């Protein structure tokens, strides 16, 4: 399926210029929104954002983020062509459904890629899988409010 927006024509950032990586996910029936935030230098933050209709509460947890893990993700983003990907991938006939957004802040700005359901290139799905795998490897500790 062709992207709904043209890819950015700005110069592609280097892995070293990447400062912050965020993965956000939600779906119609999900009880909360997931937001994984990975700033260069850490710590990693995992947020569960509650939904009133499900009566779920917000929660956050933090984990040390090894520099090598962040650098590997930054290099994977560049190698996968993340900065050349379109802003949006979705089937225009779907109004609802599971979605994910990967946002990368770098020295020259920010690039976000949104996808709904199974739309989008395999490279984007592989990046999401790498983010999920990193989240599973990190040892998150709840943040007390």
pLDDT tens, position by position, 45-101:
999 887 777 677 888 999 999 999 999 999 999 999 999 999 999 988 877 788 999
Q: Give the model's pLDDT for residue 61.
A: 96
* CA-CA-CA-CA torsion sign (70, 81, 20, 58): negative
φ/ψ region of 13 (left if φ > 0, alpha if ψ in -120 to 50, else beta) reads beta
Taking only the tens place, the pLDDT of each residue in 98-122 is 899 999 999 999 999 999 999 999 9
* Whole-Å CA distances, 83 to 1, 6, 16, 40, 55: 19, 12, 14, 18, 37
CATH number 3.30.1560.10 is the correct assignment for the domain at 15-136: yes
Q: Give the model's pLDDT for residue 104.
A: 98
Strand intervals (E) in the chain? 18-26, 32-39, 44-50, 59-63, 88-89, 99-106, 109-116, 141-142
Closest by Cα among 102, 136, 100, 85 to 21:
102
């Amino acid at each position: 399926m062709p992207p709904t927006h043209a890819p950015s024509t700005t110069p592609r950032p280097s892995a070293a210029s990447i400062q912050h990586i965020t993965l956000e996910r939600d779906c119609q029936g999900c009880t909360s929104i997931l937001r994984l935030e990975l700033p260069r230098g850490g710590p990693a933050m995992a947020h569960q954002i509650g939904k009133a209709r499900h009566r779920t509460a917000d929660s956050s947890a933090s984990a040390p983020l090894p520099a090598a893990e962040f650098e590997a993700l930054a290099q994977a983003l560049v190698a996968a062509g993340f900065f050349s990907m379109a802003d949006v991938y979705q089937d225009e006939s779907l109004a609802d459904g599971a979605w994910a957004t990967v946002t990368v802040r770098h020295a020259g700005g920010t690039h976000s890629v949104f996808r709904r359901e199974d739309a989008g290139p395999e490279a984007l799905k592989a990046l999401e899988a790498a983010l999920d795998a990193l989240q599973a490897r990190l040892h998150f500790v709840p943040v007390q409010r």
